[in-house]
Amino acid sequence: MKLMIINGPNLNLLGKREPEVYGSTTFEDYFNQLREKFSQVELEYYQSNIEGELIGKIQEVGFDYDGIILNAAAYTHTSVGIGDAVKAVETPVIEVHISNTHQREEYRHVSYISPGAKGVILGFGLQSYNLAIQSFLG
């Protein structure tokens, strides 16, 4: 099984940014833990702060991978383009969020990703990624 994790803007600052919301672990450290735990899965990871690069990566892997785990971060609530990219590819997408976006500002309650996603996992911290991988394993 081949899965791609795609992270959007500011997630490169995990471990430094708002640790009370996002924790103190960097995503790179957590990703290494995921690779160790799910050694039977070919896991890859991509992060960009640029909307068009995220769309490009979704299109690049969206026909050849078994699954995409997408945390589009703030673009979740603003990017029709990323939402359209999710709908355009054949690979199933699980939308993930570290925080429970419904407990945050009102504008974070709307997702342009969810209508095209296979499922949504939010509010479990970094464990949201673990749960998304497990959803692909059945």
* Given the residues 22, 30, 112, 129, the one annotated as active site: 22
Active site residue 75: no
The torsion of the CA quartet 25, 112, 59, 117, rounded to 10 degrees, works out to 80
Strands (DSSP E) contained in 15-110 are: 42-47, 67-71, 93-97
Look-up of token digits 């790179």: 28
CA distances to 26, 27, 34, 41, 124 from 15, rounded to whole Å, are 4, 7, 16, 25, 16
Active site residue 77: no
Measured distance CA(113)–CA(96) in Å, rounded: 10
* Given the residues 65, 77, 97, 129, the one annotated as active site: 97
User: Could you tell me the two tokens for 82?
Assistant: 């990323």
**Catalytic positions, written as ranges:** 22, 97
